Amino acid sequence: MTDAFTNRASDRPSALVRWAQVLRDLVRRPSGAIGVFLVGVHVIVAIISPWIVPYEFTTMDSSIILAAPDAAHWLGTDALGRDVLTRVLLGGREALWVCFLAIPLTMIWGGLMGVYLGLRGGWVDEVAMRLVDAFLALPGILPLMVFVFVFGAGNEVLIPTLAFFFGIPVIRVARGATHDVVARDYVLAARARGHSRASIMRRELLPNTLDVMMVEGAMRLSWMLLTFSSLSFLGFGVTPPTPDWGQMISEARVYMSLAPWGVLGPMIALSSLIIGVNLTADALAKTLGIDRTRKAVV
Amino acid sequence: MSKAIIDIRDLSVGFTARAGHTQEVLKSVSVSVKAGETIGIVGESGSGKSTLALASMGYMKPGLRKLKGDVLFEGQEVFEQSLRQLEGMRGGKLGLIPQSSGQALTPTMRIGKQVTEALKLHCSLSAAECASRAEELLNQVRLPDVPAIMKRFPHELSGGQQQRVAIAMALAGEPDALVLDEPTTGLDVTTQKQILELVQDLAKERNMAMMLVSHDLGVIARCCHRVAVMYHGEIVLEGPAKDVLKKPKHEYAKKLIDAVPRIQKVNAKAKKAAPASSEALNLEDVGICYTQPGFWEKTFSNAEPRELTVDGINISLGKGKTIGLVGESGSGKSTILRAIAGLLPAQKGKIRVGGDTLLKPTIDRRRPEELRRVQMIFQNPDDSLNPRHTVAEILAQPLQLYFGKTGQAARNRAAELLETVRLTPAYLDRLPRQMSGGEKQRVAIARAFAAEPEIVLCDEITSALDVSVQASVLELLADLKNEKQTSYVFVGHDLAVVQQLSDQVMVLRHGRVCEAGPVDQVYATPQSDYTKMLFDAVLEPEKA
Amino acid sequence: MINLLLRRLGLGVVTVWLVSVIIFSGMEVLPGDACTVVLERDAQGEVLENCRKNLGLDKSAVQRYLDWAAGAAVGDFGVSADGITKISTEVALRVKNSILLAAGALSVGVPLAIILGIIAGLARDRFPDIFVSTAAIFAMTIPEFVSATILVLILSIWLGWLPAVVLTPADAPMLDFWPEFIPAVIVLIMVMVAHIMRMVRSSVIEVMASEYVQMATLKGVPYWQIVFRHALPNALLPAINVVALTVAWLLGGVVVVEVVFNYPGIGRMMIDAISDRDLPIIQALVMLIAATYVLVNLVADLASMLLNPRLRTLKMRAK
Nearest CB neighbour to A193, from listed B371, B379, B393: B371
Q: Is the pLDDT of residue A82 over 50?
A: yes
Q: CA Rg, chain A, in Å?
A: 23
- State whether A142 and C143 contact (CB < 8 Å): no
Per-residue pLDDT, averaged over A190-214, amounts to 92
- State whether A296 and C199 contact (CB < 8 Å): yes
- State whether B451 and A203 contact (CB < 8 Å): no
The DSSP letter of residue C128 is: H
Instruction: Dump pLDDT digits (tens) for A5-37.
Output: 444 444 455 678 888 889 999 999 998 999 999
- State whether B62 and C316 contact (CB < 8 Å): no
Q: Which run of H or E residues covers position A111?
A: helix A93-120
How far apart are the C-alpha atoms of B120 and B118, rounded to whole Å?
6
Q: Are residues A269 and A86 in contact, defined by beta-carbon separation less than 8 angstroms? A: no
Strands B322-326 and B487-492: parallel
Nearest alpha carbon to residue B446 among B468, B464, B463, B424: B424
Q: How many C-beta atoms surround the C-beta of residue B249 within 10 A? A: 11
Q: CA Rg, chain B, in Å?
A: 26
Neighbours of chain B (3+ CB pairs under 8 A): A, C
Tell me the sheet residues that pair with B12.
Answer: B68
Strands B279-288 and B310-318: antiparallel
Nearest alpha carbon to residue A75 among B269, C62, A64: A64
pLDDT at A231: 92
Q: Which chain C residues are Cβ-neighbours of A135 within 8 angstroms?
A: 22
Q: How do the pLDDT tens digits run along chain B, 544 residues long?
A: 467 899 999 999 988 877 778 888 899 999 999 998 999 999 888 888 989 999 999 998 888 889 999 999 988 898 988 888 889 899 889 999 998 778 899 999 999 999 999 998 888 888 888 889 999 999 988 898 899 999 999 988 888 899 999 999 998 888 999 999 988 888 888 889 889 999 999 999 989 999 999 988 889 988 899 999 999 899 999 999 888 888 888 888 888 888 888 888 776 555 555 556 788 898 988 888 876 655 555 555 554 556 788 888 999 998 889 999 998 888 888 889 999 998 888 888 889 988 777 777 788 888 888 899 999 999 999 999 999 899 999 999 999 999 999 889 999 999 999 999 999 999 998 889 888 889 999 999 999 999 999 999 999 998 888 888 898 999 999 999 989 899 999 998 888 899 989 999 999 998 899 999 999 899 988 999 999 999 988 888 776 5
Neighbours of chain C (3+ CB pairs under 8 A): A, B
- State which amino acid sits at residue B147: P
Instruction: Dump pLDDT digits (tens) for B448-483.
Output: 999 999 999 999 998 888 888 898 999 999 999 989
| Predicted complex ipTM | 0.86
Q: Minimal Cα–Cα distance from B150 to chain C, Å?
A: 14
Per-residue pLDDT, averaged over C39-64, amounts to 72
Residues in contact with B26: Cβ distance below 8 Å, sequence separation at least 6, in sequence order: B11, B12, B13, B14, B48, B51, B52, B55, B233
For residue C194, the chain A residue with the least C-alpha distance is A293
- State whether B363 and A195 contact (CB < 8 Å): no
Please tell me if residue B222 touches chain C, with a CB cutoff of 8 Å: no
Q: Minimal Cα–Cα distance from B329 to chain A, Å?
A: 18
Instruction: Dump pLDDT digits (tens) for B238-297.
Output: 999 888 888 888 888 888 888 888 888 776 555 555 556 788 898 988 888 876 655 555
How far apart are the C-alpha atoms of C168 and A94, rounded to whole Å?
37
Q: Is the pLDDT of residue A162 over 90?
A: yes
C-alpha dist (Å) from residue B513 to B134, B311, B366, B505, C165: 41, 8, 27, 11, 79
The DSSP letter of residue B321 is: -
- State whether B426 and A5 contact (CB < 8 Å): yes
A139 against C227, higher pLDDT: C227
Instruction: Dump pLDDT digits (tens) for B484-519.
Output: 899 999 998 888 899 989 999 999 998 899 999 999
Interface test with A, best of C14, C29, C124, C149 (most A CBs within 10 A): C149
pLDDT at A122: 86
> How high is the mean pLDDT of chain B?
87
pLDDT at A11: 47
Nearest CB neighbour to A208, from listed B379, B388, B426: B388
pLDDT at C86: 78
Using DSSP's 3-state secondary structure scheme, residue B226 falls into strand
How far apart are the C-alpha atoms of A258 and B297, rounded to whole Å?
67
Nearest alpha carbon to residue A237 among A39, A97, A85, A60: A97
Q: What percent of chain A has pLDDT over 90?
A: 50
